[in-house]
Amino acid sequence: MTDAERDRPGGGLSGPRPDGARGDGSGARKGGRPSGSVGRRLFGYAMMFKAPIIAALVMLSVSVVLDSTGPFIAKRMIDRHIVGVQETWYRMPGPGPDRVRFRGAWYERASYVAPGTTRGQAVRLVEAGRDFYLVTAPWPQGAAADSLAVAPGRGEVTVQAGTQRWVVPAVRLTRDELFRFYQPEIPRLWRLAALYFALLVASSALTYGQRLWLQVAANRILQAMRMQVFAQIQRLPVRYFDETPAGKVVSRVTNDTEAIRDFYVTVLANVVSSAINMAGIYVALFLLDVRLALVCCLLLPMLWAWVWLYRRYAAPLNHRIRALLGEINATLNETIQGMPVIHAFNRVRQTQAEFEDLNRQYFRGQTRLLAINSLTGWNLSWALRNVFFVALIAYFGWRYLHLGGLISYGTLYAFVDYLGRLFQPVTQVVNQLSNLEQARVSAERVFELLDLPGTDVADGRMPRYRGDVVFEDVYLSYDGKEDVLKGISFSVRHGQTVALVGHTGSGKSSVMNLLFRFYEPRAGRILVDGTDIRDLPAQHLRQHMGIVLQDPFLFTGTVASNVSLGDPSITRADVERALREVGADKLLAHLPRGWDEPVVERGSTLSAGQRQLISFARALAFNPVILVLDEATSNIDTETEAAIQKALEVLKQGRTTFIIAHRLSTIRNADLILVLHQGRIVERGTHEELMARRGRYYQMYQLQQGGMVTA
């Protein structure tokens, strides 16, 4: 899959669904829960960028192997080159590379003497107290040197093994003489130290590489996921946004996906590195001592129980916390948008109190979660570490006392080092439990959104249709219980203007919602040029439709960009022509930058009439076949409305136009007026026909004209 395919909204983004959920949302389970395992789906996203992740894990594995060799090198330095000098030395006939001159004679360690070399007197270097002695007599057979004592005033060393005791002659070494015996080991110690340092440098470089690659992959995953979530938002029906606060949707796109990013960057890196580290450490422990390694394996079921208990108690809290965060975002969004109303009606204190209540609940949830994290976090890890250290010391002490010092100092150091290293990944895993649970809960919320049924964005364009519209016995219900439209039937020919009137709640806007396929009818059908609109992609159908709403929405940008909406097929000349035709060249002439004047969010720096003019120009620039005006002139003053009405008379030619209006004076020239009441068409006809009938339309018109009725 190419980067372009991944980044294209709706293209190549339904792939990471290893659970088999279809892109149309049919994989969602009842109740809104995401289908399939969250872990499998997160793994599916990781597989989208498996190359850098695998490279990072390979570097991590090599880094762990290199880092794990450190204690073995230290063990060799201690046992072979530091404590190892306390072994048998042989008197040699002359100098050599590993030989030491002591009081006129040459000596060489038994381990360095080449096979077949002539050997002289055997001596032994031993430590007694803070001094070193060279035992010149044969070493007692079976003596383990677990107890050495110096005979005061005499050149003797007492060797004790259990109940047996030997007194052997010995020569006390001065500091310089002792150093001579260590001289052959110094180059070897330097080489091992250099190897140890080189391994540390290589391990650090690989650790840097794996963290960089893993974070790059995580950011790519986050980029792809956010693109998929944003594309899914475009696929969702308008019903979803009517029922869901915008702040909650924003929270899923931003906060929840960021928590998932932390999973890939922090949790995944730490858990995988900890698992590899623990595996390497256990291999090393088994190489050192099988019995003790088996004892250390008791940590694994403890860690599993630890994770299970944490998830059991923390999961509900995390669900609640993430839900509260969405509520807070929704409240913030609603408060910012409704700030004029809040100040106008002195609702500042009440709004603040409502927010404080949400904030207090969020604080309490976070505090309870922190309590669980503190209880199961570093403190418990430290306690278990101390328990295992005590067990290690007791084990080595027992072996030393009962088995005659069979455990070397290097082995003891290596075990202590490895045991300390073993609890570093354990602590890392424990510290990531909270992030892991937050990421899992956030992933559930994101996957719930992705699994909602939607309509794929259709590519390509549809040939321009004629614009004949027919409603056949159409019913609509928003809640699935009560119909808001009941048996709506009418037909409109190309070029006609149809007006829908009625009291608030009569169903006028619902008719337009169905025409634009914002909602689907419960029964009946809607035809455009004889084709059921449900058989057409919604995007293709809307390509030749234009709408002007009562409350126009302007995007951040400029006046010109709000007219063209970035459509490359709409030229600058088209934009300027549309603005002139609706009279905007006169009413917006005072703007310092003209059509390039910046527009802030929702066009808040412009008046309602100016926003409406831009919205008119937008609809006209797209040259629609079907034009819908939904209370489009309600926010425009009489003078501006007169100018627009004059422009509309020209623009309606050759277009099918639907007008929803409360001001009945603006629709007197409509070819067909439909009067709706409680979801039904109760009257239809021209203005003159309806006035002559003296029914509901006549009463509405009379009320608006103050009793002065003129047909």
> Comparing C-alpha atoms, which of 124, 135, 132 is closest to residue 176?
132
Q: Which residue has the higher pLDDT, 397 or 63?
A: 63
| Residue whose token pair is 């278990």 | 384
Model confidence at 635: pLDDT above 70:
no
Average pLDDT over residues 370-382: 69
Q: Per CATH, which fold does 550-623 belong to?
A: Rossmann fold (3.40.50)
Average pLDDT over residues 494-499: 91
Highest averaged pLDDT of the listed ranges 58-67, 412-421, 491-500, 604-613: 491-500
Q: DSSP state, 464? A: P
Model confidence at 9: pLDDT above 60:
no
Model confidence at 585: pLDDT above 60:
yes
Lowest-pLDDT range of 174-183, 276-285, 583-592: 583-592
Predicted confidence at residue 156, as pLDDT, reads 78
Predicted confidence at residue 7, as pLDDT, reads 39
Q: Per CATH, which fold does 3-71+190-316+372-450 belong to?
A: ABC transporter transmembrane region fold (1.20.1560)
Separation between Cα atoms, residue 93 and residue 106, nearest integer Å: 7
Predicted confidence at residue 2, as pLDDT, reads 39
3-state helix, strand, coil in the chain (%, to 5): 55, 15, 30
Q: Which residue has the higher pLDDT, 409 or 121?
A: 121
Average pLDDT over residues 339-359: 81
Model confidence at 631: pLDDT above 90:
no
Bridge partner residues of 527 (DSSP)? 470, 532
Predicted confidence at residue 12, as pLDDT, reads 37
Model confidence at 153: pLDDT above 60:
no
| Straight-line distance from the first to the last Cα atom of the chain, in angstroms, rounded to the nearest whole number | 67
Q: Per CATH, which fold does 459-544+626-636+655-711 belong to?
A: Rossmann fold (3.40.50)
Q: Are strands 557-558 and 598-599 parallel, antiparallel or unpaired?
A: antiparallel
Question: Sorting pLDDT into bands at 50, 70 and 90, what band is 279?
Answer: confident
Predicted confidence at residue 568, as pLDDT, reads 85
Model confidence at 33: pLDDT above 70:
no
Average pLDDT over residues 584-603: 77
pLDDT in tens, 431-453: 777 777 778 888 888 888 888 88
Average pLDDT over residues 570-592: 81
Lowest-pLDDT range of 43-47, 153-157, 540-544, 657-661: 153-157
Domain definitions of the chain by residue range? 3-71+190-316+372-450, 113-182, 459-544+626-636+655-711, 550-623
Nearest 5°: the CA angle 206, 207, 211 is 115
Q: Give CA 145 to chain center in angstroms.
A: 62
Lowest-pLDDT range of 276-280, 449-453, 538-542, 605-609: 605-609
Q: Does 3-71+190-316+372-450 match 550-623 in CATH topology?
A: no
Q: Are 536 and 462 in contact (CB under 8 A)?
A: yes
Bridge partner residues of 628 (DSSP)? 547, 658
Average pLDDT, the chain: 79
Separation between Cα atoms, residue 526 and residue 646, nearest integer Å: 31
Percent of the chain at pLDDT exceeding 90: 11
Separation between Cα atoms, residue 194 and residue 207, nearest integer Å: 20
Highest averaged pLDDT of the listed ranges 311-325, 434-448, 463-477, 549-563: 463-477
Separation between Cα atoms, residue 565 and residue 553, nearest integer Å: 12
Average pLDDT over residues 527-546: 89
